[in-house]
Amino acid sequence: MNFVPPIGRTDWTRDEIADLFDLPFLDLVARAHDVHVRHHPENEVQLSTLLSIKTGGCAEDCGYCSQSVSADSGLKAEKLMDAGAVLDAAREAKAAGSGRFCMGAAWRSPKERDMPALLQMVAEVKALGLETCMTLGMLEGDQAERLADAGLDYYNHNIDTSPENYANVITTRTFQDRLDTLERVRAAGMNVCCGGILGMGESRADRVGFLHALATLPEAPQSVPLNALVPIAGTVLGDILKDVPSARIDDIEFIRTVAVARIVMPESMVRLSAGRESMSDSTQALCFMAGANSIFTGDRLLTTGNAGGNADAVLFDKLGLISMQGDTVRAEAIAAE
């Protein structure tokens, strides 16, 4: 295809991104695959594990989230996990083939009393040889610096949707609040993990705006998780969309979004995240063709189900994919699951 977007470009326009979405589907996927293999090893997919280290009771009102105090999902608030239990889970994840271990807490922002335990978790998981990632809500500058000093490789803080659609999803913090935390993460020297959720009733123009917001950050996120909404009863969006299936994103449009993300952020890891358990093998295969090169493995993502390691092993075998362990490849990790 000979299409090579400049590395590090952050001046994409919305019209350019909209034009990519409008390409014939096969042309778009072929172009995205060409970009992908120029910047990433072929047929390698990073395995990541996501653990909820503090579940429920979040003060934010995110319309998609069962962990919000605003949701009537029946999920009970729990305390922060013990660092030893987190380390045990990290060891299991590494043994199953994961190269990155992500820890998520249902908070608006971490409290000072929890910082020592969080820093211990980061340092001890890092010592196992795993990439470390946390998502803890909004951060102050000193919190970001302390996490970085402890060895945190990535900080996840999703923008969720386009700036224009944001207030339809969350009202307890602004889009700019999100950007401010991302700036503090970059300033502390950590890698940014930032993506969003598709299928929340948004328009294609919102998907264009979402990817435009990511691709025009001062630096593209090193990791871009793309979630397909899992409607959960008792959440605002779950209750609205359960009876409006047409509002959810279809597989072709989801793959289009993966492909455009790969083109406008050629060096980023593009991760298939929530919603993958309901995707067919064919849909996932096309996502990998379009440039996705990271997945969450295991049976659970925070509070929602996931495909699980055995299903991933079968799929990888079908597609001839191998797992990525940091900068090295370990095909045995998939075979052993």
Question: Cβ(93)–Cβ(100) under 8 Å?
Answer: no
Closest by CA to 326, choosing from 128, 74, 110, is: 128
Closest by CA to 212, choosing from 171, 166, 260, 251, is: 260
DSSP per position, 76-90: PP-PPPPHHHHHHHH
CA 59, 64, 65, 69 torsion-angle sign: positive
Report the Cα–Cα distance between both ends of the chain, in Å, rounded: 37
Distance CA 69, CA 107 (A): 11
What count of residues does the chain have?
337
Counting DSSP H helices and E strands in the chain, the numbers are 12, 13
Q: What are phi and psi of 328, to 5 degrees?
A: -120, 160
Catalytic residues: 58, 62, 65, 102, 133, 193, 271
Q: Beta 300-301 vs 196-198: how paired, if at all?
A: unpaired
Distance CA 57, CA 217 (A): 31
Distance of CA 73 to CAs 51, 69, 299, Å?
19, 9, 20
Question: Cβ(238)–Cβ(191) under 8 Å?
Answer: no
What is the helix (H) or strand (E) element at residue 191, kind and residue range?
strand 191-193
